[in-house]
Structure 1
C-alpha cells in the first residue's frame, strides 16, 4: 500500500509540474516568439529521418504586418466566434461529441474520440505544446491550455502565434512561408481571394497542397470571401 501511495504521489507531482511548465511557457509567449512548436519539432524529426529536412520553410511576421485579409479569412473559415469566446466553443464541442458518439457506435468503437469543434485557440494549444494523438486525455489537456492561453495572452497575440506557426503544407509553416510557396509574394500582399484559398487549406494542408485548383477549394474559398465582411480581426 505504501509503495502504491508513493507511486501515486509521484504521478500527481509530475502532473502538477507539467502544468506549471505549460503555464510558464504560455506566460513567456506574451513577449517571446516560440522558436518552434511541439508539432514542428515532431515534423522536423520525421523529415530528418526521411532525409527531407531541407524543405522546411518558415518566417516570422509581426501581427501589424500580417494582412487583414488573411486574419479575417482564417477567422471566417476556422472560428467565427474567435473574438468573443474564452478559448473553447462549448456548443461546438458538444455537437462534435455527439457526432463522434454516433460514429463510434456505427464502428463499434468503445471510446469515442472528439474530432471537430476546435477553436483557433485550441488548435494553437495543440500545435504549441501537445502531441498529435487523438485521445480524450489529450483533448482534455488541450481545453485547459486553450483557456490558459486566453488568460495570459491577448486575442491579437494568439492570432499572431497561430498564423506564424500553423502548417500550410509539407514543411511549410506560417503565413509568410505559405504566401511565398503558393503565390510567390509576401503575406502582406495577399488578396482576399488568395487569403481565402489559404484558409481553406488549414484543416488538411497536405491534402489540399496537392489539389490547389480543386472544385472544392474554389467553391469553399468563395464562401469564405463572402463571410469575411461579417467578421473582424482583433
Structure 2
C-alpha cells in the first residue's frame, strides 16, 4: 500500500472555502444606503436648479387649486416689484433675515420663553415649507424643513429667497404671490405698490384668509404702521442690503 505523502514542513494547507450564502440584512442595508444617496442627490439637484429656475406650485398651492377649482397666481421677477414690498415682508416676517443662515436663534429663544405662542419661522423656512413640503404641525415636516433650510441658504442668494417668497406667499383664499395680491386688493401692478399698500399686504401674511389688505381691521392697521416703521428701519441700518442688490 502506497504511503500517503506528508505535507512539506513550513507549508500551510489551503483554507477551506465557506459558502457565501445570502445575507438579507447586508443586502437591505446596501440598497437603503443607495436609495438615501439617490434621494439626497436628487434633492440637491432640485434645490440648486431652483436657484435659477422658478419652482412649480407646491403641495399646499396644488391642494387649494383642487379645493377651489382655480387659484390666482402669476410669477413676477423681483426686479418688477416695488423695493418697499420686499422690505415690508422682511420687516414683518423676519427682520434679521440678512444676518442669519436660515434659523433666527434669537427669535426661537423668544418664542420658547413665550411658551410657543409666537412664531419663529424665518422667510427661508417658509419658502421651504411652501415650495417643497406641506402645511401642518407634523414633526416629520419640521424635521425635513430643518434639513432643507440650510441647503436653500447655501445655494440660493438672499435676494432669490425673497423673490420666491413673494411669489409663493398666500395673500387671500386662492390668491398667491405679490402680482396677484397687488391687483386683487389695489388694482395695481406690484411695481406700483406704495409704502402703505406694501405694508398692508405684509401685515395680513400671518392670516391671509382672515384678514384683508383693502378692508383692514384695527389690528391690521396697527400692524401696518409697525411694518412701515420696520421697513424704513432695516433700510436705514443696512439690514436690507442683502436682498436689495443682485447676487
TM-score range (shorter-chain normalised) is 0.7 to 0.9
- Conserved in 1, the CA contact under 8 Å of 2:128 and 2:149? yes
Equivalent residues in 2 for 1:53-202, closer than 5 Å: 53-54=69-70, 56-97=71-112, 99-100=114-115, 116-202=119-205
Name the structure 2 match of 1:229.
232
**Alpha-carbon distance in structure 2 between the residues aligned to 1:121 and 1:99:** 22
Residue 205 of structure 1: CA displacement? 0.7
- Conserved in 2, the CA contact under 8 Å of 1:77 and 1:224? yes
Residue 139 of structure 1: CA displacement? 1.2
Q: TM-score, normalised by structure 1?
A: 0.82
Q: What are the Cα deviations for residues 129-167 of structure 1, in whole angstroms up to 9, with x where unaligned?
A: 012131233212112211111110111111111101111
After superposition, the Cα gap between the structure-2 partners of 1:130 and 1:205, relative to the gap in structure 1 and judged at 3 Å, is same
Task: Provide the alpha-carbon RMSD of the alignment.
Answer: 2.4
Match of 1:217 among 206, 210, 220: 220
**Alpha-carbon distance in structure 2 between the residues aligned to 1:210 and 1:67:** 17
Name the structure 2 match of 1:203.
206
| Paired residue secondary structure (1:206) | coil
Q: What are the Cα deviations for residues 8-27 of structure 1, in whole angstroms up to 9, with x where unaligned?
A: 66655544433333211110
Q: Which has the larger radius of gyration?
A: 2
**Alpha-carbon distance in structure 2 between the residues aligned to 1:42 and 1:224:** 30
Match of 1:34 among 40, 51, 55: 55
**Alpha-carbon distance in structure 2 between the residues aligned to 1:5 and 1:207:** 54
Residue 92 of structure 1: CA displacement? 2.0
More helix by share: 1
| Structure 2: 5+ residue stretches without partners | 1-22, 235-239
Q: TM-score, normalised by structure 2?
A: 0.78
